[in-house]
Homo-oligomer: A and B are copies of this chain.
């Protein structure tokens, strides 16, 4: 049985740009477009030329090779000709292979928001599509508020779709603009629309306002549409658009879909999806969502003692898809309930092959449990766990020794009478038997400590030049008088590696210093394998 082709339309650079807090630079837009092109997306909507200078500049040339580079804009306004509508002209001047027009398909909005007649709106659709076609472009129509419009005035909503079809639109996209429609309604309404517009010319544009953007997209496909609009990691206005990052694996790995459909993404490209998702977060300078379907760091992580041992035995009966298919991996979290098999799996991941009967395992396991009971959260601090294991197994050289440190934070009036706070840290270390003291100021005690610690480690300094502290989380455990402070630190290096370390102490400075120390030592272990080998 031959499969039907499903088309993916990405609007990360247009609807995604509407996300509160997201504001792409030209360079970022170019990077995202290239990323989507490599991934195998069919249409990349680059933005709204004419709406703002950045988008206009972005459309001075085509930004994709395989994907159809698409410009977004409104249909012709009522009361003026296509030639006299600056919006339309900006779209026709933009260097895109396709134009996606948006038009109201809810008669109420035509009247209230546009102050136009229903026929004027249809005329706008007809002439805009025709103008794009005449200019040799692929034309499509986003029907705004289609589902609400359909419920309010079925015939008019359908008339908008039909008009676009007759004018030569390749795609008529049904938009759930406010995101309030539920899967059942989507499928009922789409089925009715297919009696007017053939499914192979219909698209769906879903938002996540009820948490159903993905389900609504799938329901629309089941009901006949053949184009799905969405965004990377589900960014988009309000609660976001349908996440292509979630839909792509479902379409490619779930029998219900891959047996009936094929998309432009290859298996090889699918295996890069986790990286693509994280690279996009890097561009947005966001911490990746650990719980994201398929690509999240926790998507294939198991903490439960009750499952862990069995999963190690036979992962496929516990995982709905293979993590490797999307470039993700299985994670066994060492936690309270964790057992020997968990630990062995983790050690293997660290590249530490240990015999199941190795007596050192008991010591390590006891160690981990005692420390987790004391507040260490190793499931959130891989690097500290790996260091703990390597130390127990004798794989960590004593790179340097910390003799002590001091931190002063003082708030006082400075010479010109302003109240200022100065943080200063002194760290005393021994490297290769040589004593070194460093003093640094920082915008806080931890920052000062971090800088003083890394200021001068002798020969080791070069290895940690590119180390950077990116996040710092503090938690007070079992609040009250015997409160213990847990500090989680996220570090990053030049190659974009990220690792997490943890420190626990009644004293926040001690806890922070412990996590900082682990962050540095972990980096040294990774960049100096030869010293590591020497230690074994």
Contacts and interface: CB of A to CB of B under 8 A. Distances in A.
Contact of A480 (B112, B285, B303, B337): B285
B211 A320 contact: no
Contact of A215 (B183, B423, B445): B183
A211 B243 contact: yes
A413 to B, nearest CB: 7
Contacts of A413: 403-404
B507 A299 contact: no
A403 to B, nearest CB: 8
A339 interface: no
Interface string A308-336: 00100110011111000000000101001
Contacts of A246: 210-211
Contacts of A106: 317
A407 B409 contact: yes
Given A215-B183, A238-B299, A299-B238, A483 B472 contact: yes
A200 interface: no
Interface in A493-510: 505-510
Interface string A402-435: 0111111111110000010101000000000000
A520 interface: no
A457 to B, nearest CB: 18
Interface string A50-73: 011000000000000000000000
A412 B404 contact: yes
A89 interface: no
Interface stretch (A121-129, A165-173, A259-267, A289-297): A289-297
A24 B411 CA distance: 36
Given A20-B290, A184-B256, A319-B178, A212 B215 contact: yes
A483 to B, nearest CB: 7
B318 A112 contact: no
Given A185-B256, A214-B215, 11 more contacts: A18-B303, A27-B479, A112-B310, A180-B319, A208-B293, A209-B294, A238-B296, A404-B410, A444-B510, A471-B476, A508-B508
